[in-house]
Amino acid sequence: MRILLTGGTGYIGSHTAIALIEAGHQVTLLDNFSNSKPAVLDRLREITGVTMDFFEADVTDEDALDAVMADRSIDAVIHFAAPKAVGESIARPLHYFENGVGGTVKLLRAMDRHAVRNVVYSSSATVYGLSEDLPLTEDAPTSVINPYGRTKLMCEQILGDLFASDSSWNAIALRYFNPVGAHPSGLIGEDPQGVPANLVPFIAQVAVGRRPALTIFGDDYPTPDGTGVRDYIHVLDLAEGHVAAVEHLANKPGYDTINLGTGQGVSVREMVEAFERASGVAIPIEVAPRRPGDGPASWADATKAARVLGWTATRTLDQMTADVWRWQSHNPNGYD
Ligand SMILES: NC(=O)c1ccc[n+]([C@@H]2O[C@H](COP(=O)([O-])OP(=O)(O)OC[C@H]3O[C@@H](n4cnc5c(N)ncnc54)[C@H](O)[C@@H]3O)[C@@H](O)[C@H]2O)c1
pLDDT in tens, 179-236: 999 999 999 999 999 999 999 999 999 999 999 999 999 999 999 999 999 999 999 9
6, 12, 95, 260: which to mutate for ligand 1, most atoms within 8 A of CB?
A: 12
Cβ-based neighbours of 288, under 8 Å, separated by 6 or more: 215, 216, 217, 218
Quick: pLDDT tens for 95-145: 999 999 999 999 999 999 999 999 999 999 999 999 989 999 999 999 999
Catalytic residue among 128, 148, 176, 221: 148
- CA–CA dist 272, 166 (Å, integer): 48
Count of C-beta atoms within a 10 Å radius of residue 152: 27
Q: Answer yes or no: is pLDDT of 71 > 90.
A: no
Separation of CA 176 and ligand 1 centre (Å): 12
Q: Tell whether ligand 1 has an atom less than 6 A from the beta carbon of residue 84.
A: yes
Count of C-beta atoms within a 10 Å radius of residue 51: 10
Separation of CA 82 and ligand 1 centre (Å): 5
Q: What is the pLDDT of residue 50?
A: 97
Q: In this structure, are residues 249 and 76 in contact, taking their beta carbons and an 8 Å threshold?
A: yes
Per-position DSSP letters for 71-108, written without gaps between them = HS---EEEE--S---HHHHHH-HHHHIIIIIIHHHHHH
Q: Answer yes or no: is pLDDT of 39 > 90.
A: yes
Residue-averaged pLDDT of the chain: 97
Q: What is the pLDDT of residue 121?
A: 98
Region 1-10: mean pLDDT is 98
Region 250-274: mean pLDDT is 97
Burial class of 213 by CB neighbour count within 10 A (0 to 12, 13 to 18, 19+): exposed
Q: What is the pLDDT of residue 132?
A: 84
Residue nearest to atom 21 of ligand 1 (CA): 10
Q: In this structure, are residues 99 and 55 in contact, taking their beta carbons and an 8 Å threshold?
A: no
Element (H, E) at 170: strand 170-176
- CA angle, 55 then 233 then 220, to 5°: 125
- Residues forming beta bridges with residue 2, ordered by sequence position: 26
Per the annotation, the verdict on 148 as an active-site residue is: yes
Quick: pLDDT tens for 252-263: 999 999 999 999
Q: Tell whether ligand 1 has an atom less than 6 A from the beta carbon of residue 12.
A: yes
% of residues, the chain, pLDDT over 70: 100
Q: Tell whether ligand 1 has an atom less than 6 A from the beta carbon of residue 34.
A: yes
Q: In this structure, are residues 123 and 175 in contact, taking their beta carbons and an 8 Å threshold?
A: yes
pLDDT band at 56 (very low <50, low <70, confident <90, very high): very high
Separation of CA 6 and ligand 1 centre (Å): 9
Region 253-282: mean pLDDT is 98
Residue type, 160: G
Q: Answer yes or no: is pLDDT of 6 > 90.
A: yes
Q: What is the pLDDT of residue 223?
A: 97
Q: Three-state DSSP class for 129?
A: coil
- The domains found in the chain, sorted by start residue, are 2-180+232-261+301-313 (3.40.50.720)
Q: Tell whether ligand 1 has an atom less than 6 A from the beta carbon of residue 41.
A: no
Q: What is the pLDDT of residue 216?
A: 98
- CA angle, 284 then 12 then 212, to 5°: 15
Residue nearest to atom 35 of ligand 1 (CA): 81
Q: Answer yes or no: is pLDDT of 58 > 90.
A: yes
Q: Tell whether ligand 1 has an atom less than 6 A from the beta carbon of residue 36.
A: yes
Residue type, 7: G
Q: Tell whether ligand 1 has an atom less than 6 A from the beta carbon of residue 272.
A: no
Separation of CA 13 and ligand 1 centre (Å): 8
Q: What is the pLDDT of residue 256?
A: 98
Q: Answer yes or no: is pLDDT of 66 > 90.
A: yes
